[in-house]
Structure 1
Amino acid sequence: MFVHLTSAANAPRIRRSGIRAAGRGVRGVHCFPVLPSYTLTHQWVRELARFGTRGGLVAVHFRLDDAEPVTVRHYGTPGERTTAAEAAGRLAAMEDPRGWEVFLPRSVAAPEVHRLRRPPQVAGWRYFPGAHGRRPCQCDGCRVRGEYGGRRLRERLPHPLDGPPPPTRVLLARLAAAGDPGDSAVLLDLLHWFGLRRRRRGPVAELARLAGHPDPQVRRRLVETVWRWSSPGAAELLDRLADDPHAQVREAVADAREWLAETD
């Protein structure tokens, strides 16, 4: 028996036609085995609730055959292919299975659904297992825009990079002062601020020379900065970086183009 957490608004559809496979790339259903511990079984409730739900979360219990192929993993790590029975036994034997999940690479049919129930919406952990008692990070990459209590948290724990970015003319002056090729740390900081402007256009001509910088991290950050821009020369700059000798730079261009293709 496994449990899948989803918005309560999906309950009528699930009762009618099962759990639909979702995800980018390999599509499937994220779930967790039903363990003797109620808290561990529903450990993902609070974390998933942070990203918004429609009517709260419901727990969908469904049965799988022992030999059903699944992937078991700790979040953020590559998974290991195994069977449903082996995944449930492995997680049940762990001293601390928090943060683990099972991925079923298919949809769940309606006859496989055992029941739907509404778990307490405060079960489990937030951010990551063991986060309680640690100072939450408020950087632009970690905080969730529009999160409940987010404004009070930013006021209480301001991040050094909070506030509006410097004007473009100031950033360009710093870029000119950095020299050629320029210190990597200074250039990474400048590209960070250019990326935070969240504009659809930017000074592509002035930044294009960084495509030849000897540090591949600078070239990768350049891709992450300009790929959303519609400024003249942005597409040509990505074409140039797509043939970069460093694999991380080429992968950054490929990821950017894949995202752009999906959002068109």
Structure 2
Amino acid sequence: MAMFVHVTSAANAPRIRRSGIRAVSHGQGDARGVYCFPVLPSYTLTHQWLRELARFGSRGGLVAVHVRLDDDEEVLLGRYADRARNAQATVPAAQAVRRIAELDDPRGWEVFVPRAIRPRELHRIRTAPQVAGWRYRPDAHGTRPCTCFGCRVRGGYGARRLRERLPHPLDGPPPPVRVLLARVAAAGEPGDPVVLREVLHWFGMRRRGPLDRLAHLAAHPDPGVRKDLVWAVAGWSTPGVGDLLDALADDPRDEVREAVEAVREPE
């Protein structure tokens, strides 16, 4: 029998003891199953995912659930990054344990059991210290964190301070509104399209904005400016956004009208 450990919130422990570990579909397309890792001689490597999973919050801390699977049970094996490329291999559970144990650096590897874990397959459930393992990715400590929209975790601990300390050239945080409006004024009349489109890029990251100070851009001669105006204000809760989009929906240029249609398409 192959032994694996599954890390989960302590609040789930009573339900797991009673009914087993239910299958989830997170990160594996339509497939549903349970993520786990082989039990290795190294405690640190066995519980390497603890600190990373703790970043996303847990009720009452995390627990380690040890499960036993038949050696011939087929599982998916690979690194976390292999999910997006569908590069994880299907192997027997015993082979998954052996292959990970033979790696020089098994950090970031995972096993996915494509089904729920039954109660009779549980070996034990115990508390686990939250200090083992890596965060973000192996070897992330000591490297400059990326604050781009794809990498950052919205609402994560210290996320706002990190973005302010290491602003991303494209993904912010955006400059203050007064600074952006000063750039609009300095762009002249009707305004340098390059400057205005950069300003609208930053305004598009906000939830509200000075619509009355930007509405005149709906008449700008550059269609790129008008299109970017659509994308900038579409997500605002500021009163008057709907009327502005109504006006831009009759724009003479196709790309502007198509932008209005895109932001108004129901999800």
The interval holding the TM-score normalised by the smaller chain is: 0.5 to 0.7
Which of 41, 48, 64 does residue 43 from structure 1 map onto? 48
Which residue does the alignment assign to 2:252? none
How far 1:89 sits from its partner (Å)?
Answer: 1.5
Partner SS for 1:40: helix
One-letter amino acid of the structure 2 residue matched with residue 5 of structure 1: V
Alignment of 1:219-234 (within 5 A): 232=242
One-letter amino acid of the structure 2 residue matched with residue 61 of structure 1: H
Partner SS for 2:165: coil
Alignment of 1:1-264 (within 5 A): 1-24=3-26, 25-26=29-30, 27-77=32-82, 78=85, 79-83=87-91, 84-138=93-147, 141-147=151-157, 154=162, 158-160=165-167, 161-162=172-173, 165-166=176-177, 177-179=191-193, 187=197, 189-190=198-199, 192-199=201-208, 206=218, 209-210=223-224, 232=242, 240=258
One-letter amino acid of the structure 1 residue matched with residue 19 of structure 2: S
Task: Give CA deviations for 1:123-145 in whole Å, capped at 9, x if unaligned.
Answer: 01112111122233455542552
How far 1:64 sits from its partner (Å)?
Answer: 1.6
Which residue does the alignment assign to 1:246? none
Compared CA separation, residues 169 and 30, structure 1 to 2 (3 A): same
How far 1:113 sits from its partner (Å)?
Answer: 1.3
Compared CA separation, residues 9 and 193, structure 1 to 2 (3 A): same
How far 1:75 sits from its partner (Å)?
Answer: 1.5
C-alpha distance in 2, partners of 1:66/1:212? 62
> What TM-score results when the alignment is normalised by the length of structure 1?
0.68
Q: Are the aligned partners of 1:138 and 1:158 in contact in 2 as well (CA < 8 Å)? A: no
How far 1:15 sits from its partner (Å)?
Answer: 0.4
Higher-Rg member (1/2): 2
Task: Give CA deviations for 1:22-59 in whole Å, capped at 9, x if unaligned.
Answer: 23433221111111111101000011111111111001
Unaligned runs of 5+ in 2: 250-254
C-alpha distance in 1, partners of 2:226/2:209? 23
One-letter amino acid of the structure 1 residue matched with residue 4 of structure 2: F
What percent identity do the matched residue pairs reach? Answer: 50
> What TM-score results when the alignment is normalised by the length of structure 2?
0.67
Which residue does the alignment assign to 1:248? none
C-alpha distance in 2, partners of 1:99/1:3? 15
C-alpha distance in 2, partners of 1:120/1:82? 31
